[in-house]
Amino acid sequence: MGLKEYLSGDLKATIIYFVLGIVAGYAAFVINNPRLALVSMMVILGLSTAVMKYALKAPNYKWFLSNGIIVFLFMWFVVWTIFYNFAAAV
């Protein structure tokens, strides 16, 4: 299996949503306002989903849910929680 076959559309979407989840989690920590953090997370998720739908020509909503949105939300929450707890400990 070559690198081109390994980096299919599903894996590319998962990696991009993974990185965007980390960025959104850190941004939520920096904003330090729960409502604005939630709005910023939703904006990042919406914009990235629109771009990914156009770039990867995803078939349907289930594809986005399994390959991106769950990964994004999980990483956002984990990164935000880590930074939040680290700031409280220091």
The pLDDT tens digits for 21-48 are: 999 999 999 998 889 988 988 898 888 8
Q: Note whether residue 75 is domain-resident.
A: yes
Read off the pLDDT of each residue in 76-82 and give the average, rounded to a whole number.
92
Predicted local confidence at residue 25, as pLDDT: 92
- Give the C-alpha separation, 70 to 48, whole Å: 13
Q: Note whether residue 1 is domain-resident.
A: no
Q: How confident is the model at residue 3 (pLDDT cuts 50, 70, 90)?
A: low
Q: Note whether residue 50 is domain-resident.
A: yes
Q: Note whether residue 4 is domain-resident.
A: no
- Give the number of domains in the chain: 1
Predicted local confidence at residue 6, as pLDDT: 62
Q: Note whether residue 69 is domain-resident.
A: yes
What pTM does this model have? 0.81
Report the mean per-residue pLDDT for the chain: 83
Specify burial of residue 9 (Cβ count, 10 A radius: 0-12, 13-18, 19+): middle
Read off the pLDDT of each residue in 58-76 and give the average, rounded to a whole number.
81
Q: Note whether residue 41 is domain-resident.
A: yes
Q: Note whether residue 43 is domain-resident.
A: yes
**What range does the domain containing 63 cover?**
11-84
